[in-house]
Copies of this chain bind each other. A is one copy, B any other.
Amino acid sequence: MSDPFNPRSSRRTFLASAAGGAAAFYCTIGNTKVTLANPGDIKKADAIAAAVPRPPILGASTRSNVSLRATKRGTAFDPVDKLSFPRPTPAPGGKYVEYWIRARTVKWNIVPTKRDDWHGTPIPGKSTFKAAVYQEMTPGFAEPKGPANMPGPLLHAEVGDVLVVHFQNDLGDLNQAVTFHPHGVKYTPDYDGVYLGDYTRIGGFIAPGESFTYRFECKPDSVGVWPYHDHGPNHTVNTMRGLFGALVVREKGASAPDVENLVVFHSLIPPITGLARAFSCVNGRAFAGNTPTFRSKVGQDVAFYITGMDNDFHDFHMHGHRWKTPAGDFTDNPAVGPNEVAIVRFVEDNPGRWLYHCHVFAHQDGGMAGWYLVDP
């Protein structure tokens, strides 16, 4: 938070920091630590990220060549670093479920309507920045399946399946390695999708223009909804500028809800966007009418999947509704930490216009609210 009592603290400073999420942060990119505090600093982070060299160790086929001696940078290998891993195959009755996903940049408007439809208030000022998102493509990356969106596509698989994500780094002039790191599914270190410096496995550094195919097992304890996000060398910056989404794993043959909505609470802050103020967002947008307007009909089986993708903890409040928690009691306001997930599911019985919002007052007021319309 800024210091509002300090007379030297400008209003612009306040707006930059008030809407949730640290307005400054500290991150490690390759072997450099960098402070991101000013709007211009993202250029610095991107330049450092573009210079991160491809780690020398690239995966299963080359693991037998790994020296277990320490590197010049002080890395001390362990026998586990020499292991190689088989490709997963579906469990009996399971199948391969394939997605083609590319990381790309997109000119993204956080407040396209320039107003808050809840209060009828104008939201003046610049709200467009260069985001990075995961976009679903047709097989072979032939063409987009739909517009670039934040979050990325909601992926679906069942227990026993192998979820196959063909991933392409198409970030263009950002010119840096990214990855696809999922929660909840089982993967070998090759498919972890995480940059680990000298310990990096093949899926942890997908260089600009390259593709890689990840293979994830859906196990009985993968049932649930799980975020995915970048975990490459510049992961904090890239996740915060939009490289996130979620996947759903159901029991084999379990019925899907009629309506399925993903709600990602996060902030878009000046060091990431270069904009003058911070926004408290749902799915990359701030203020009702910009954030998703969800819709369903009385009698439908409705699901909302709630997660957080910044440094803050959030509460999801949906007016007019309550539902059972996994523990068996009832809530209308579950909390989620970063990358935690709360599953909301109910049979719709309450028509009308409803407000949903994060119940952290400062987030709600900073734009983390929207509409849910229920037809009779």
Contact = CB atoms under 8 A, between A and B. Distances in A.
Contacts of A271: 4
B74 A332 contact: no
A71 B14 CA distance: 32
Interface stretch (A104-112, A114-122, A147-155, A171-179): A114-122
Given A187-B320, A240-B361, A352-B189, A19 B26 contact: yes
Report the copy number of this chain in the oligomer: 3
Contacts of A13: 3, 5-6
Nearest to A193: B319
Interface stretch (A90-98, A129-137, A205-213, A334-342): A334-342
A184 B339 contact: no
Contacts of A23: 1, 3-5
Nearest to A240: B361
Interface of A: 1-6, 8-19, 22-33, 35, 37-38, 71, 73-76, 78-81, 83, 85, 113, 115-123, 183-184, 186-189, 192, 194-199, 219, 221-224, 226, 233, 236, 239-240, 270-271, 310-311, 313-315, 317, 319-320, 322-340, 343, 349-355, 359-366, 373-376
Contact of A352 (B18, B26, B188): B188
Contact of A354 (B120, B189, B343): B189
Nearest to A29: B119
B118 A80 contact: no
Given A19-B26, A37-B4, A189-B352, A333 B340 contact: yes
Nearest to A124: B33
Given A18-B24, A322-B221, A351-B83, A1 B4 contact: no
Given A22-B18, A339-B317, A361-B311, A327 B324 contact: no
The 9 A-B pairs at the shortest CB distance, nearest first, are namely: A4-B37, A4-B24, A335-B337, A189-B352, A326-B327, A327-B327, A120-B197, A73-B120, A326-B329
Given A118-B196, A224-B330, A362 B26 contact: yes
Contacts of A183: 317, 332-333
- Most B-side CB within 10 Å, residue of A10, A29, A183, A239: A183
